[in-house]
Structure 1
């Protein structure tokens, strides 16, 4: 926990440490050194809170079983395209907790399995994206939000669709329509992947993982590998995302020190021997150098 986060505490913690209600109230006056950010949560400094302090305060207010979702969850996991003053928090349906100040509380019977990012529990990207998209009314902003985490490698279109299917159906018609409009045909072609699996059968390589989001050791998204050999850090791209993102994705992988093999659809269909040779060479090169410190979310 950073020094900034340590300055965000529950009032009850101060009481347990020997402070009285009077001493706390005195310090929280408009000209005092402390301030109340949320009911029962104080910032032991004057001046505007930082983003991290606001997030920490939201979690302290909502309790240990709370999970940050929406835009702030995506930002915490490396997607900085969007910003908001709101912190969207999920709590179990059995809880009785109201939204206060900048914290929007949502009770749910489908609490996600959280990821721990710098000490804060956040919803996985596919859940955070759908939770955020449900609250956006502008179609263009909603469309941009749905596509951004996919292009950034935080999640796949299949994960977004599964999240929509698993949640409440009310209000999902527009989300489904937008996804079909901007993301069809599906980012991962079943046909292309079947061709790729045929190639792998001919290659002297261990089987890879398919459609794998890859992140830096710090948790920053690098991209989604169509096929991924984790032991050596080798990514293979055979065109599962929009053409405009291919070069950007290749640069992201190579800048992270990873070997990256790009295969066109034409090569995948009609030049299997050349593809097998390229993969074998890349795998050998990747195996002969230290594996970069990246993590794959398989």
Structure 2
């Protein structure tokens, strides 16, 4: 008996090819194979092998990378939903007729997840000694074999990549960084996440903060580089948005000041004739100090309120919105510029280079 042999009482037509080669004890039992029979088939010289506790490969020889991923997920899943009850058809999703097994409460994370996302600086799947899998904290499950279990109080919504559930990039990064002592490797991972358009710096910093990794000096150094990289990319997108969507040229990177009075703060762009200011909102939790984070947010709010009392319209744009919807953000700016004709003239301010 192997993965090409029909199992009674139900065939395996609803499973993809790899899912027919990797099955749990419960799935085999649902197909008429007892635990004793499974153990017999997995004895030395038999046609199968037990790869992880309760998870069988229905062939001998080394597993493929795809088989390892599915085996780890099956091991970490409380009750895989890939074997529906008799008479209940499998539920395909957007991935086509061979939709991935639905693995409740389990998803890949760490370096394996980043490799699946297409990161170029991560190891190949065959070279990974361990495959990290994220499960709820309440699960009583131990790491074993190539399966390394990571617990979390709240599972994020997974993404389906190459047919398997994968943690979002910021969470996968945090789980990878947690086990990487090398500053250069951490910096390369974080930089590729931003340059590759996988996520914004603020999302990465939030996840690292929640994982309590911002107390490690080599991680803090990498985060500083990451935020500088993200800021530069956001500024470049802002220049491109103004140019490609036909907005009038502003004065760039300036500081406003009341004549003979205090500084009103720096801005990324300012249209003096319309009294419209634009600021890139690149705030991110830093170094785990909540009081510092609140102070930064309060300063943003104070500056905005002060400028608006002077009759200056302030437009805040986040790097994510600038990346995902530049046309929409250009419309927001254009609307603010056009509305200036209907407002009272703004107070006179000095515009100085920042």
1:90 match: 134
Change in Cα spacing, 1:226 to 1:114, as seen in structure 2 (3 Å) is closer
1:184 match: 228
Q: What is the CA distance between 1:4 and its match in structure 2?
A: 2.2
2:53 match: 39
Structure 2 residue matching 1:97: 3-state secondary structure: coil
2:27 match: 13
Structure 2 residue matching 1:96: 3-state secondary structure: coil
1:103 match: 147
Match of 2:111 among 46, 64, 71: 71
Give 5+ residue unaligned stretches, structure 2: 1-14, 78-103, 249-316, 329-354
Match of 1:62 among 76, 80, 83: 76
Q: Tell me how many residue pairs correspond in the alignment.
A: 216
- 1:82-105 alpha-carbon deviations (Å, 9 max, x no partner): 122211111111111111111110
**2:183 corresponds to 1:143:** no
Q: Contact 2:214–2:220 (CA<8 Å) still a contact in 1?
A: no
CA–CA distance in structure 1, aligned partners of residues 238 and 319 of structure 2: 13
Change in Cα spacing, 1:80 to 1:114, as seen in structure 2 (3 Å) is same
CA–CA distance in structure 1, aligned partners of residues 35 and 210 of structure 2: 46
1:259-274 alignment, distance < 5 Å: none
Q: Which has the larger radius of gyration?
A: 2
Q: Contact 2:241–2:327 (CA<8 Å) still a contact in 1?
A: no
Higher relative contact order (CA 8 A, sep 6+): 1
- 1:209-245 alpha-carbon deviations (Å, 9 max, x no partner): 97459xxxxxxxxxx9586459xxxxxxxxxxxxxxx
Question: For the aligned residues, what is the CA RMSD?
Answer: 3.1
Structure 1 residue matching 2:129: 3-state secondary structure: coil
1:1-298 alignment, distance < 5 Å: 2-63=16-77, 64-83=104-123, 84-169=128-213, 171-181=215-225, 184=228, 186-188=230-232, 202-203=246-247, 211=319, 225=323, 228=326
Change in Cα spacing, 1:189 to 1:170, as seen in structure 2 (3 Å) is closer
Change in Cα spacing, 1:229 to 1:165, as seen in structure 2 (3 Å) is same
CA–CA distance in structure 2, aligned partners of residues 227 and 45 of structure 1: 49
Change in Cα spacing, 1:97 to 1:11, as seen in structure 2 (3 Å) is same
TM-score, normalised via structure 1 length: 0.63
Q: Contact 1:164–1:172 (CA<8 Å) still a contact in 2?
A: no
- Deviates further, 184-193 or 37-46: 184-193
Change in Cα spacing, 1:167 to 1:32, as seen in structure 2 (3 Å) is same
Q: What is the CA distance between 1:195 and its match in structure 2?
A: 5.6
Give 5+ residue unaligned stretches, structure 1: 214-223, 231-298
CA–CA distance in structure 1, aligned partners of residues 193 and 244 of structure 2: 28
Change in Cα spacing, 1:98 to 1:117, as seen in structure 2 (3 Å) is same
Change in Cα spacing, 1:171 to 1:27, as seen in structure 2 (3 Å) is farther
CA–CA distance in structure 1, aligned partners of residues 55 and 46 of structure 2: 16
